[in-house]
Amino acid sequence: MTLALTDIHSGYVAGVDEAGRGPLAGPVVAAAVILDPDNPVSGLKDSKQLTQSRREALYLEITQGSLAWATGSASVEEIDRLNILQATLLAMQRAVFMLNPPAQRVLVDGNQCPHLGCPVEAIIRGDSTVAAISAASIIAKVTRDREMVELDRRYPGYGLARHKGYPSREHLQALQNLGVTASHRRSYAPVRKLLETHEAGGK
C-alpha cells in the first residue's frame, strides 16, 4: 500500500501516534513528525508490522530527514492520576508543542484528538494509511522501547527489556515474585489487585 503524504500544500502537517497504552509499566510515549515532501522515507508502515531492526533503521531516516519531529510522554504517576486516555492525549500535546517549525495541521492515529492550537483530525488506522502518522508510530515505539531497556537496568528481574512492560506470563510471574516497582501503573487491574492482596495480608 502506498501511504498518503497528506495535503502538503496546506502548510506543515504533523502526524501523531503513541506507544505504550497497554503495558503495566513505564510511561506512554507520543511522537509528532512533519515529513519533508522533498525527502520521502520509503517503507513506512505501522511500527507493529516492522521488525526491531527495520524500526531502528527507519527511526534514523525519519529523525535525519524530516522537517521536524518531537516526542512527549506522560509518566506512570500521570497515567494513574488522569487515566490512560487523558495521559495519552497529554503526551501527544507535549510532542506537538515541541515541534519546530510548529504544525499548522495535525493528523492523529485513532479516534480521539488532543486539544491543540491548530486544526486536528483523528484518523482510524492512520498508522497504516498516512505516512506522517506511520513515521510518528515508529518514533514513538523506538523511543519507548529504549526507555524500557533503561527501566530494565533499574529494575532487573522483570524482563522489561523483552516484553516492554506488557502483561506477559513472565511479567505477571515476576510481579508475584518480586512485587510492584515504582515503574508500574497502580491503576491497571493486575497491579492493583496484587497491591490489594498484599495490603490484605495475602500472598
On whether both 139 and 43 belong to a single domain, the answer is yes
Contacting residues for 23 by C-beta, under 8 A, at least 6 apart: 164, 165, 166, 167, 185
The DSSP code for 49 is G
CATH code at 53?
Answer: 3.30.420.10
pLDDT band at 8 (very low <50, low <70, confident <90, very high): very low
Residues 142 and 160 in one domain: no
Q: Within this chain, do residues 20 and 72 fall inside the same structural domain, yes or no? A: yes
Condensed to tens digits (0 to 9), the pLDDT of residues 126-161 reads: 999 999 999 999 999 999 999 999 999 999 999 999
Specify whether 46 is located in the same domain as 146.
yes
Are 94 and 169 found together in one domain? no
36 lies in a domain? yes
Predicted pLDDT of residue 10: 59
Residue 178 has pLDDT above 60, yes or no: yes
pLDDT at position 158: 98
What are the pLDDT digits (tens) for 76-99? 999 999 999 999 999 999 999 999
Same domain, 179 and 108: no
Q: Indicate whether 81 and 136 sit together in one domain.
A: yes
Please tell me the total count of domains within the chain. Answer: 2
Question: How open is the CA angle 53-166-76, to the nearest 5 degrees?
Answer: 105
* Residue 1 located in a structural domain: no
Residues 145 and 194 in one domain: no
Question: Which pLDDT value is given to residue 199?
Answer: 74
* Helix (H), strand (E) at residue 34: strand 28-34
Shared-domain flag, residues 26 and 69: yes
Asked if the model's pLDDT at residue 180 lies above 70, the reply is yes
> Residues 11-60: pLDDT tens digits?
899 999 999 999 999 999 999 999 999 999 999 988 989 999 999 999 99
Higher pLDDT, 182 or 203: 182
The amino acid at residue 27 is: P
Beta strand 105-109 with 120-123: parallel, antiparallel or unpaired? parallel
Residue 126: inside a domain: yes
169 is a domain residue: yes
**Domain identity same for 16 and 40:** yes
| Structural domain of 184 | 156-199
Residue 75 domain-assigned (yes or no): yes
Establish if 189 belongs to a structural domain: yes
pLDDT tens for each residue of 106-125:
999 999 999 999 999 999 99
Residue 198: pLDDT band with limits 50, 70, 90 = confident
- C-alpha distances out from residue 129 to 2, 25, 30, 92, Å: 8, 29, 18, 19
The larger pLDDT score, comparing residue 74 to residue 1, is at 74
* Residue 40 counted as domain residue: yes
185, part of any domain: yes
Whether residue 3 is predicted with pLDDT greater than 90 in this model: the reply is no
